[in-house]
Amino acid sequence: MSNSNFTLTLAVDQPAKQVYDAINNVASWWHGEVIGNTNQLNAAFTYQMETFHFSAQKIVELVPGEKIVWLVTQSNLSFIKQTDEWTGTQIIFEIETVNNKTQVHFTHQGLVPSVECYGACSGGWTALIQKSLYSLITTGKGQNVF
């Protein structure tokens, strides 16, 4: 079984700054309850989706218009046996301009096929990035995908 981190790429017509700002507006695209500062280096925020997902993130890298990295410092995923699978993983957004399009390369480092939540979590990320974040970037409003 592969140990590749979950990744996907999104391409939009909007400029890198707009994409960067949208990603940092976490509560507008990652639907659930987001508490804390989501756009300042070393800040921490939490995400809660009902009773089945809690995670705490620390922003460990911010390069305006280019890169955002969150370290998951705590997690509780009630739908799997090892509820803290996300703890210690990193959520990475890399932004670049390619052929007049802005591309977001998303990686959840540590979310690999060998972990229990891979199927559900990779599906969740796909919906969040390709539908909700995409909608926020292109229309100014994220979509509730859950």
pLDDT of amino acid 31: 86
Cα torsion angle, 47, 61, 74, 125, sign: positive
CATH assignment at residue 81: 3.30.530.20
pLDDT of amino acid 145: 85
Cα torsion angle, 121, 127, 130, 135, sign: negative
Q: pLDDT tens digits, residue range 20-34?
A: 999 999 999 998 999
40: in domain: yes
1: in domain: no
31: in domain: yes
**Domain around 124:** 6-139
What values do phi and psi take at 35, rounded to 5?
Answer: -125, 130
pTM, full prediction = 0.95
Asked if 124 contacts 133 with a C-beta cutoff of 8 angstroms, the reply is no
pLDDT of amino acid 2: 58
**Residue in this structure with the two tokens 């960067």, named with its chain if needed:** 20
Report the domain count for the chain.
1
Token pair, residue 89, equals: 């993983």
Q: pLDDT tens digits, residue range 51-110?
A: 999 999 999 999 999 999 999 999 999 999 999 999 999 999 999 999 999 999 999 999
